[in-house]
Amino acid sequence: MKTVDMKFYTSLLMLVVLIGIAANIPLSVAAQAKPNILFVLVDNLGYGELGCYGGGITRGAATPRIDQLASEGMRFTNMNSEPQCTPSRSAIMTGRFAIRSGTYAVPFGGVADGLTQWEVTIAESLSASGYKTAYFGKWHLGSNNGRLPNDQGFDEWYGIPRTTDEAMWPSDPNFSTSYMPVEKIMEGRKGEQSKALQTYDLDQRRIIDAEITNRSIAAMEKNVKANHPFFVFAALTQCHIPALPNPAFAGKTGNGDWADMLTEMDYNVGRMLDAIDRLNIRKETIVIFLSDNGPEYVQPWDGWAGPWKGQYFTAWEGGIRVPFMIRWPGNIPSNKVTDEIVHNVDLFPTLAGITGAVVPNDRPIDGINMKAFFLGQTTKSGRDGFPIWVGDRLQAVKWKHFKAHFYHQETMISEPEKWALPHLFDLYTNPREDETKLLFSSWLIGPMMKMIGAFEASTKRYPLIPMGTPDPYTPPKSGNSQ
């Protein structure tokens, strides 16, 4: 009897000890498997705009909060994107080059725009993994019910379905709704149809980023209170044309609308970061700050790509190389700067790798899981290059610090001109891609064509989805073969 009692009390004592240990595990350790994610995507912010990338006060406005975020985590000098708004957002959401998804260019009406429901988004994957998901801001991946954020994995959303220049339409004396419907600010919830709230005009353009920030903070507060891991995607509309500041920031810098807008952007990011600290979830939250593509071309709101040539809608480095930083205290190294190549298609598989979410295996995924690189377990990224499309035109390819252009296109409104031979550039010695300083190392075409060949081979097994493809989309049988 005493033996039985001793075993019982021994087992009971072990249970008490284990409970005591579990009770004292810090929340940051317990939450490692499913960290919160705040993803801040800004619109058309050039490489050279922020202080930590050589801008800030040289652009008329310091950016202390974003610069501090960069110092608290990892800052990338070689993050690459698709060169237009819709393609880059598609790549982020799916981990696939936009040419695969029929989202390779900004849509201009008359077609079924956006992602087909067959595509699997990062929000769908994280939602299936137990995350609460929210999207606030500019979407640009579908204008109608069936293709809005609440149809693509987000529990809730608020924002504009398309883009910001449409805010100028109502004030144009030649505009009439008999020609084109005005863009509406919308909101919706998963399982329901989204509803229009009000017209997106110039007055709303000035204040929408404040509302995006407010709603992003409220979503974080709600989910922390409910003890849910969250994925909050704050897609700010600045600095897209027209880059008009909130009235509270108009005239604040004395350096014009653009500098006032940059100050506003920094303030809004700071508010979201302050909310994370107030909620005491800094160590449990991954914060990402990213621009969707290179800077504006249209004056007087044109931006600056720093040392690089070009703007969005081009394959120049200025069109594709963008600001990117990521913070996760205790996991991602702080005050780290890297020039390793990363592409925005890599974010889906990387975040899935960190959180345990699932990446689809029935289609090509162009992104690479960079978890080990982001966490400082290796100093090398898993990528050494990628092809570059402008629209549906394969315009260039980048490999290590070399680049080949197959077309010349100076700006977004220039006619592309196909070269008889690829033009080769060394980005270390010729960062401006000056055509008077071409390389004549033809061996470089070998590894570049190998990447292109691998992509083209994949399209034979998994055909590209044409732009304007309606739902429901079913891949051809060749796309389903394993």
Alpha helices in 226-325 (DSSP H): 257-278, 317-320
CB crowding 331-352: b at 16 or more within 10 Å, else e: bbeeebebebbbbbbbbbbbbb
The one catalytic residue among 140, 240, 343, 405: 140
Residue type, 45: L
SS3 at position 388? strand
Residue type, 249: F
Q: How far apart are CA 102 and CA 351, in angstroms?
A: 24
Q: Where are the beta strands (DSSP E) in 328-465?
A: 336-338, 342-343, 385-390, 393-399, 402-408, 417-426
Q: Give φ, ψ of 403 to 5 degrees.
A: -145, 140
Is 140 assigned a catalytic role?
yes
Q: Facing residues of 326 across strands?
A: 74, 288
Q: Name 46's Cβ contacts closer than 8 Å, sequence gap at least 6.
A: 55, 291, 294, 295, 296, 303, 304, 305, 306, 311, 318, 322
Q: How far apart are CA 340 and CA 372, in angstroms?
A: 13
**Please, are residues 28 and 276 in contact by the beta-carbon 8 Å criterion?**
no
Q: How far apart are CA 160 and CA 215, in angstroms?
A: 14
Torsion from C-alpha of 305, 310, 316, 319, nearest 10 degrees: 60
CA dist list (Å): 202 to 166, 175, 182, 185, 297: 9, 14, 12, 12, 20
Q: How far apart are CA 365 and CA 436, in angstroms?
A: 37
Q: Give φ, ψ of 204 to 5 degrees.
A: -70, -30
**Please, are residues 272 and 79 in contact by the beta-carbon 8 Å criterion?**
no
Q: How far apart are CA 118 and CA 123, in angstroms?
A: 14
Picking from 111, 12, 58, the residue whose alpha carbon sits closest to that of residue 468 is: 111
Is 239 assigned a catalytic role?
no
Q: How far apart are CA 164 and CA 34, in angstroms?
A: 34
Q: How far apart are CA 439 and CA 436, in angstroms?
A: 10
CA dist list (Å): 30 to 7, 33, 128, 351, 377: 31, 7, 20, 18, 21
Q: Which residues belong to the active site?
A: 85, 140
